[in-house]
Structure 1
Amino acid sequence: MGLRRSKRQKADEGPEVTGTPGLAVELRGVRRQYGRGSGAVHALAGVDLALPRGTFTAVMGPSGSGKSTFLQCAAGLDRPTAGSVRLGGTEITGMKENELTELRRSRLGFVFQAFNLLPSLTVEQNVLLPMRLAGQRQDHRLAGEVLNRVGLADKARRRPGELSGGQQQRVAIARALVTSPDVVFADEPTGALDTGTAAEVLGLLRHAVDQLGATVVMVTHDPAAAAWADRVLFLADGTFAGGLDRGSAEQIAARMTALTGRAGVMAGAAA
């Protein structure tokens, strides 16, 4: 299928700084501080992480634990104060902004809670937008393939406003997959969906991992969503506080309850 990049395509994207073989995401000693002095906020306080290719990882944590900052630093949307980030073997920490923009367009996929589709474009045009922005040839056959995979082959000429919320999120997933990215980052992808529609969307992300070899990193507050992942990692106070492999929604919820209670105790002690 055309959803996997050839070795030639990868070679054309420029030299890579070799990281650990087989890893899609590597964070080493990543810190992110906002402000200075006594008012400084340590959103990430030394994060180490290694995620293999072809895996589905969910990241959870109490409010203020650093989930959004983690996602932004891991995806090159924000620069860490210290530490190293590698995506698909490429060191991105010292990249110039134009290099980061190109990397995000060609080698990363994004799925957001708010869908972030352009209302004036058709479904097909939205799916092909990453290729257009990257200056690549817009492959209509490939767009048809990915839309077929998400069950929207008959909606290619529709506008987003003509679709349901679940259908719009499926378009966003198709857009994220069209460049066969090294990593798909999903930020609360089911936050605006009902339970049944959310399960359909999560099933598509699961399928992308199992059948297409995609790597998915998802931030979520929902234990039921996290249960679709291979592994759930828990953030607390800017660092990872353990993980759970193939946990049930009940097990994940119990871990979150314990973490939230711990965060409350620590906040009270600091007051």
Structure 2
Amino acid sequence: MRLRSKRQQTDHRPEAPATTPGLAVELRGVRRQYGRGAGSVHALAGVDLALPRGTFTAVMGPSGSGKSTFLQCAAGLDRPSAGSVRLGGTEITGMSENKLTELRRSRVGFVFQAFNLLPSLTVEQNVLLPMRLAGRRQDRGRAQAVLAQVGLGDKARRRPGELSGGQQQRVAVARALVTSPDVVFADEPTGALDTGTAAEVLGLLRDAVDTLGATVVMVTHDPAAAAWADRVRFLADGAFAGDLERGSAERIAARMTVLTARTARVEAMAGATA
């Protein structure tokens, strides 16, 4: 099951502002603080990151390391307390909520653990939803093309409840790709799937990068899922603490074990001195 090359597709995106060549995601000095005073929490403590277009990046870290906050700030779902975020070269930090919503709908794709499909809509209608919400013409030919790419060309008229969990996640991948976005953010996309089905979905994301030139940023706790990425970035205490290029699941798991133990020691020391 191979995806078509980007040159074979019609670019349905609206004209975008001038972009930074080569970069799909760029964070500079990004901080995110919740609350004030002694009870404040620094979920992100000065994150710097530059991800080239056409790459697959996995982000991992111990519980409470800031993974979810990172994804939300990078995708424009949450606003950082300080710093700069660029998507496709476009500065989004100071955007109005309306402009930010428009950008997310047209230039960002999302794949979530819970699928987030609307049960009352058909598979095709779910895939077309980003175009509908953006006020654009709903291109049924484009929807059929991406459904064929994920192996569901014959399921367009079905409802999500008639599909298996793996098939529903394939629909979510098709929905994420339908607008040919600058970047696809995947939040634990295989967390609700069995091992075999998870590998099929990860293969689709990998193929989107390799044959369409898509950019994928995936937050995951699973070393086997992270091993599909070009590079794994490790978060600890709200900051990046190293990376691993083309690592095996075993190497990634070993790095996570070391990082989790280190984080536990730091927390224990902080508790002892509190």
Instruction: Give the TM-score range, shorter chain.
Output: over 0.9
Deviation at 1:3, TM superposition (A): 4.0
Matched position secondary structure for 2:126: helix
Structure 2: give runs of 5+ residues left out of the alignment.
1-6
Residue-pair matches, total: 265
1:163 corresponds in structure 2 to: 163
1:174 corresponds in structure 2 to: 174
Alignment partners' CA distance in 2, 1:233 and 1:142? 33
Task: Write out per-residue CA displacement over residues 172-201 of structure 1, whole angstroms, 9 at most, x where no aligned residue.
Answer: 000000000000000000000000000000
Distance 1:10 1:134, change over 3 A: closer
Alignment of 1:88-127 (within 5 A): 88-127=88-127
2:210 corresponds in structure 1 to: 210
Task: Write out per-residue CA displacement over residues 62-100 of structure 1, whole angstroms, 9 at most, x where no aligned residue.
Answer: 000000000000000000000000000000000000001
Alignment partners' CA distance in 2, 1:125 and 1:35? 40
2:255 corresponds in structure 1 to: 255
Are residues 1:134 and 2:134 paired? Answer: yes
Matched position secondary structure for 1:153: coil
Alignment partners' CA distance in 2, 1:23 and 1:10? 19
1:37 corresponds in structure 2 to: 37
1:3–1:179 contact (8 Å) kept in structure 2: no
Task: Write out per-residue CA displacement over residues 17-63 of structure 1, whole angstroms, 9 at most, x where no aligned residue.
Answer: x43x2000000000000001111100000000000000000000000
Matched position secondary structure for 2:196: helix
Matched position secondary structure for 2:154: helix
Are residues 1:195 and 2:195 paired? Answer: yes
Deviation at 1:251, TM superposition (A): 0.1
- Which residue type is aligned with residue 158 of structure 1? R
**TM-score if structure 2 supplies the norm length?**
0.95
Alignment partners' CA distance in 2, 1:98 and 1:59? 28
- Which residue type is aligned with residue 84 of structure 1? S
Alignment partners' CA distance in 2, 1:182 and 1:67? 21
Query: Displaced runs of 4+ in structure 1, greater than 3 A?
Result: 1-4
Matched position secondary structure for 2:28: strand
- Which residue type is aligned with residue 214 of structure 1? A
2:11 corresponds in structure 1 to: 5
2:14–2:106 contact (8 Å) kept in structure 1: no
**TM-score if structure 1 supplies the norm length?**
0.96
- Which residue type is aligned with residue 66 of structure 1? G
Matched position secondary structure for 1:130: helix
Deviation at 1:4, TM superposition (A): 5.4
Alignment partners' CA distance in 2, 1:2 and 1:147? 15
Distance 1:138 1:2, change over 3 A: farther
Structure 1: give runs of 5+ residues left out of the alignment.
none
2:113–2:191 contact (8 Å) kept in structure 1: yes
